[in-house]
Amino acid sequence: MSRNNPEQLALAMDYAAAMEACAAYVSVKRPTIRDPEAAYRLLRPLIDGATCGNSQEAFYAILLDTKNKVICAPCLTSLGLLDSAPVHPREVFREAVRQNAASVVLAHNHPSGDPTPSKEDIDITSRLIKAGKIVGIRVVDHIICGRPSPETPGYVSLREKNLVAFD
């Protein structure tokens, strides 16, 4: 980020404010993630701030307790490029292990705005499910965030679409 770019500075400040607001909301409300839309609503402002207005991919993990209540603000595990983000199980599950999470909801954005899952999205989800089983943390879903349109609500749930075997 350039200090001479006021737009990037404003986005960084917006992201910091969004993270602070999200952390406060989570600590007071302890929301329950019961469906993909709830995860999307929690993440969308954070993704916008973290990616300078959705210009790059960001991969998040929402940490949940045994009753699917959010433990802490969603964890940014990887920040990538315009069309990819490096995702490694070690990074995805690091904070989940520290926070004693029972499960996680994975999420990332597609800067194009089209939340259609790619083959790579499906492959990495399968890999993360296997890694989660090894460390005893269940992967509940993987939400791909885009932008709402007449055809889509702005996200795709890999669980709802039955694109990956989660259990």
Burial 125-163 (b: 16+ CB within 10 A, else e): bbebbebbeeeebebbbbbbbbbeeeeeebbbbbbeeeb
- Cβ atoms 114, 121 nearer than 8 A: no
Check residues 161 and 57 and name the one with the higher pLDDT: 161
Q: CA quadruple 82, 19, 125, 149: dihedral positive or negative?
A: negative
50 has pLDDT over 80:
no
Q: What is the pLDDT of residue 85?
A: 80
98 has pLDDT over 90:
yes
Which tokens sit at 137? 């943390």
pLDDT digits (tens, 9 = 90+) for 26-43: 655 678 999 999 999 888
pLDDT digits (tens, 9 = 90+) for 62-71: 999 999 999 9
Q: What is the pLDDT of residue 81?
A: 75
What's the mean per-residue pLDDT of the chain? Answer: 85
